Copies of this chain bind each other. A is one copy, B any other.
Amino acid sequence: MNLILLFESDFTSSNIAVIADRRYQHISQIQKPEIGETLKVGLLNGHMGTGQVLAIDESSIKFQVILNSQPPAPLPCTLLLALPRPKMLKRVLQTVSAMGVKQLYLINSYRVDKSYWSSPVLEKQINEHLLLGLEQAGDTVMPEVHLRKRFKPFVEDELPDIARNSRAIVAHPYLAKPCPTAENTLTTLAIGPEGGFIPYEIEKLNEAGFESAHIGERILRVETAVPALLSRLFPI
């Protein structure tokens, strides 16, 4: 937890916040601050700054909060991801959030197991893992996650508008060009499931304006491909 993320509901007055949940546990057990010490804090979807410890007891911690700096710039990237299996989804949500992606579409694909769509992670834990990513990276802006359970209508009817005026890339190891170089430009990136998109899906994505690109002959797991591709496509 490199940033303590505060919610509006934590504030007891305009600049005093009290927390008593998972965040309190972490701070009191790991960071162990003294009275008067300042920690890095941020307001969800707002500014970042410092929290000076005014009081800490066995169940809560009270901060005087100054919010005076901007969160890191978001990546200019909309990410389309074939829904990964639940265990991997957790980690991918944290990574996506930590790396600054703000628009995530979890989409269906032929090789996505149907059961993944009824996973409890998807139903209840998306925000929890996105928050962990923000706390890790030091960011306050919550990504938006969109679920699209049907591939064809999504790609035909919705995707052309989403990808309009952006560099549209589908990561695909076969019949593809090398991944384009880092550029701070609006990008829509599609990443397939384990085993890849099937040829029909690649065809539909190509029709929607997506160019196939690879990052080498090695086949990476989705959770490795996501940071590798984002790091390749965007400069610092």
Interface residues of A (CB under 8 A from B): 2, 72, 91, 94-95, 98-100, 136-139, 178-179, 214-221, 223-225, 227-232, 236
Contact = CB atoms under 8 A, between A and B. Distances in A.
Contact of A236 (B137, B139, B178, B219): B178
A136 B232 contact: no
B231 A72 contact: no
7 contacts: A91-B223, A95-B221, A98-B219, A99-B224, A136-B219, A215-B236, A228-B228
Name which of A72, A137, A216 has the most chain B CB atoms within 10 A of its CB: A216
A218 B139 contact: yes
A193 to B, nearest CB: 13
A2 B98 contact: no
Q: List the 10 closest pairs (A to B, CB-CB), nearest first.
A: A228-B231, A137-B218, A227-B228, A227-B227, A231-B231, A216-B236, A2-B219, A178-B236, A224-B227, A231-B232
A139 B2 CA distance: 36
Q: List the number of copies, as a whole number.
A: 2
A214 B72 CA distance: 14
Contacts of A136: 219-221
Given A215-B236, A228-B230, A228-B231, 7 more contacts: A2-B219, A98-B224, A99-B220, A100-B218, A136-B221, A214-B236, A227-B227
Contacts of A236: 178-179, 214-216
Nearest to A229: B231
Given A100-B218, A138-B217, A215-B231, A95 B224 contact: yes
A52 B214 CA distance: 28
A220 B219 CA distance: 23
A111 B210 CA distance: 44
A92 to B, nearest CB: 10
Nearest to A233: B231
Given A178-B236, A215-B231, A227-B228, A221 B98 contact: yes
A99 B229 CA distance: 13
A219 B135 CA distance: 9
